[in-house]
Amino acid sequence: MAVEIDNASLQKCARKLVDFALEGAGHALVYHEFCAREPKLKHTPAEVFFREYASSKLALGCVYWVGCCASHGILDKELKNLFLKEAMNLFQTPESLGDATRFSESLYASYADAEQSPVLGVLVHLFHELGLEAVRKPREDEDGGMNAGFLFMMGVSDALKNVLEGRFDDFLYAHEAIRTTPKEGAK
């Protein structure tokens, strides 16, 4: 059953979740933990990582938002794109062109391969932008495998998903009044 939601109220939720995704408080911790698992990252200035990581988080937020809408029966395309719209509102000045480009590339990576997880696409793109490899190449004395830093970032992405989903759910359950009754004969 499709659920109808008040657009303005849900837009406030999207704006808050975009703001949360951009909060820099945890970025330094992620950077330091990531560096501990991926020594090559130590050669990348923290500011460069923060810019790329923020774009990746916004792209993942768009993916997670659509999933949250689906799990709550929100089918309206405009509502499903509210997080994207709020993210795009960040890029209204000429100075934000670089950030807009990074976000656009990360978002494209999330949907580039329908056979692949959007998270995987975004993280592979992030690693590429940082000059890192997601898969370790085998050496004579060992097998190849997933980079420990990549596995760490998969966990970080999963944590982001859990928090965004939780906040989306909390918002909807706390604001039952924003749900409107579907009109007779409405699809």
Residue 146's SS3 state is strand
- 42 contacts 35 by C-beta, under 8 angstroms: yes
Q: Does 81 reside within a domain? A: yes
Residue 33 lies in a domain: yes
Q: What is the pLDDT at residue 96?
A: 92
Closest among 163, 132, 171, 143 to 61, alpha carbons compared = 163
Residue 114 lies in a domain: yes
**What is the tally of structural domains in the chain?**
1
Alpha carbons 14 and 86: distance in angstroms, whole number:
7
Structure tokens at 83: 């997080």
Amino acid at 134: A
Of the chain, the percentage scoring pLDDT greater than 70 comes to: 88
The DSSP secondary-structure symbol of 134 reads: S
Q: Cα(first)–Cα(last) distance of the chain, in Å?
A: 9
Q: If residue 131 lies in a helix (H) or strand (E), which one and from where to where?
A: none
Answer whether residue 6 is part of any domain: no
pLDDT, tens digit, 9 for 90 and up, residues 144-175: 677 899 999 999 999 999 999 999 999 988 87
- Residue 101 domain boundaries: 13-136+144-178
pLDDT at residue number 8: 86
24 falls in which pLDDT band (50, 70, 90)?
Answer: confident
Q: Considering the domain boundaries, does residue 30 fall inside one? A: yes
For residue 172, tell me if it sits in a domain: yes
185 falls within a domain: no
91 C-beta neighbours (distance < 10 Å), count: 17
pLDDT surpassing 80 at residue 132:
yes
Asked, for residue 108, whether it belongs to a domain, the answer is: yes
